Amino acid sequence: MAEKTVEQYYAPPPKLGKWEGFRTFLWNSETHQFLGRTGASWAKILFFYLLFYAALTGYFFAMLAVFYQTIDMRVPKWQLSRSLIGDNPGLGFRPMPPDENVESTLIWYHDSNENYKYWTEYLDKFLEAYRQPAPGEKRVPCNYTTGPEEGRVCDVPIQSFGNCSTESHYQYHRSAPCVFLKLNKIFNWNPAFYNDSDPLPDNMPDDLQNHIMSLKQQNSKEVNTVWVSCEGENPADVENIGPIQYFPGRGFPGYFFPFQNNKGYLSPLVAVWFEHPATGVLINIECKAWAKNIMHDRLERRGSVHFEMMID
């Protein structure tokens, strides 16, 4: 057999001990390789990764910038019936029971001693935003003839809640609690007011119907209001609930709508004062908001809110 000179592409490394092999791998003084690569090779690979990640980061931020171009921080993309929250606003009440029982809607206290403190402190905190405008917020007084100018928001005067004021402990100490109602904000939602000759809905409480009728007779602009009514749910509750007063009025004035997420917007509030509720019994209360385009659905929590009250 003729001897053949084979071109050698690969020379097996010289047999070394384990430790010796490792040390050579760390630093090979013959080839000047560190961890298996020469300095130039390391420089190249580091340079490659530097460029690679720089490009990746740039691409990420470019995509993010494109994405931000398509959204507006103030205006939601999906509005009204196309949005998840829909176009039928819900009603909320404050103060709410402690967090540990989220399902609870029971306002329960003992009017002796300082037992009602939780509820009044809750309301103090809730109304904090209404007290002082944050720097840069522009609140203007509004009325039914003059809404806010572009970019301004209507003031909700804290003094307008009458007997439901901080100073009078929202009447909790007198077994006559105030509960604040608030319509959930829906961007660009406009109420359809009961301001024409159409008959009022049959299920609207009589006192509210009379109130609206007399405003219509006076040709008052106040008809442009989202009205509010609170009632006992069952016959026994109707009996126990006693007289009710609403501050500053019986509803949310129309000039607060539509909500356009202007800086510092305040949701209008209605303070409902239960003047003489029966004590020692649980009272089921349902409050409803009234406009032609508000449907009432208790299960879906649309247009109405339910809570219970018990004063020991």
Judged by CB under 6 A, which stretch of 38-46, 187-195, 228-236, 281-289 contacts ligand NAG? Answer: 187-195
d(CA 221, CA 253) in angstroms, rounded, equals 10
Quick note: the x/- pattern for ligand NAG over 40-59, rule CB under 6 A, is: --------------------
SS3 295: coil
d(CA 82, CA 78): 6
Q: How far is the CB of 142 from ligand NAG (least distance, A)?
A: 7
Does residue 141 bind ligand NAG (CB under 6 A)?
Answer: yes
Q: Which stretch binds ligand NAG (CB under 6 A): 89-97, 130-138, 188-196, 207-215?
A: 188-196
User: Which residue in this structure is represented by tokens 């008959």?
Assistant: 199
Among 172, 193, 257, 274, binds ligand NAG (CB under 6 A): 193
CA distances from 279 to 69, 190, 274, 275 (A): 58, 40, 12, 12
The number of beta carbons lying within 10 Å of the beta carbon of residue 20 is: 11
Total interface residues for ligand NAG by CB under 6 A: 11
DSSP 202-232: TTS-HHHHHHHHHHHHTT-GGGSEEEEEEEE
- Smallest separation (angstroms) from ligand NAG to the CB of 143: 4
Q: What's the rounded Cα separation, in Å, for the pair 113 and 115?
A: 6
- By beta-carbon proximity to ligand NAG, the closer residue of 97 and 170 is 170
- Interaction of residue 136 with ligand NAG, rule CB under 6 A: no
- In the numeric block, which tokens belong to residue 200? 């009022």
> Which amino acid does the sequence have at 302?
R
Q: Which stretch binds ligand NAG (CB under 6 A): 44-52, 57-65, 191-199, 234-242?
A: 191-199
| Site residues (vs ligand NAG, CB under 6 A) | 141, 143, 145-146, 162-163, 192-193, 195, 224, 245
